[in-house]
Amino acid sequence: MTNSFKHKLGEGSYGGVFKRKLPDGRLVTVKLMRESKGDGEDFINEVESISRTSHVNVVSLLGFCFDGSKRALVYEFMPNGSLEKFIYKDKPLDPSSNLPWEKLYEIMVKISRGLEYLHRGCNTRILHFDIKPHNILLDKDFCPKISGFGLAKLCPTKESVLLMIGARGTPGYIVTTYRTPAKFTRAF
């Protein structure tokens, strides 16, 4: 599936992320999921949730494919990578990688708008459950886009309560008030 993928952008628990040029010249990001022996729940969650969205602060899914246990998601390319590299730098004294406070504030506001859209603006509300700097991608103008929907839960708008059993998310970023089992109401 990735025989000609040479430019690896990163690796996560889900698999690898590659930069790819399409025949029409567009750059895209391909997220290759690790081979799955089960039903590929993370893949299905991500496709179901992200394909229902259309917001300037949510990354756009351009396509997906699966071949047996191999699965890939194709997203718009974000040339500035994740917010993580601007917050947790390997070279903290490198002034070229610093973002001014005004830009960080603008990023925070736009992430909040994206979350509000997911919680209130979609026909089917989406709870992300893994908001962290690694899952905030930045386009060429540093406009943030929420990504990483593998742990997301879809909530039909008619339902006012969602019951969760088991923790969801990355340790250190899980909302501490939501311990297992948890009830999520319309207030989220």
Share of the chain above pLDDT 70, in %: 72
Biggest CA–CA distance in the chain, Å, is 50
Which residues are marked as active site? 130
Neighbouring CB atoms inside 10 A of 44's CB total: 13
Q: For tokens 């742990």, what's the residue?
A: 151
Mean pLDDT, the chain, rounded, equals: 80
The residue that leads in pLDDT, 173 or 87, is 87
pLDDT of 92 higher than 80:
no
Residues 6+ apart with CB under 8 A from 129: 151, 152, 153, 168, 169
d(C-alpha 11, C-alpha 8), whole Å: 8
Residues 6+ apart with CB under 8 A from 125: 118, 119, 154, 155, 156, 157
Comparing 37-46, 72-81, 148-157, the range with the smallest average pLDDT is 37-46
The ranges assigned to domains in the chain are 7-185
135 pLDDT band (50/70/90 cuts)? very high
Write down the pLDDT at residue 3: 56
The CATH homologous superfamily for domain 7-185 is Transferase(Phosphotransferase) domain 1 (1.10.510.10)
Rounded average pLDDT over 24-47: 80
The residue that leads in pLDDT, 153 or 172, is 153
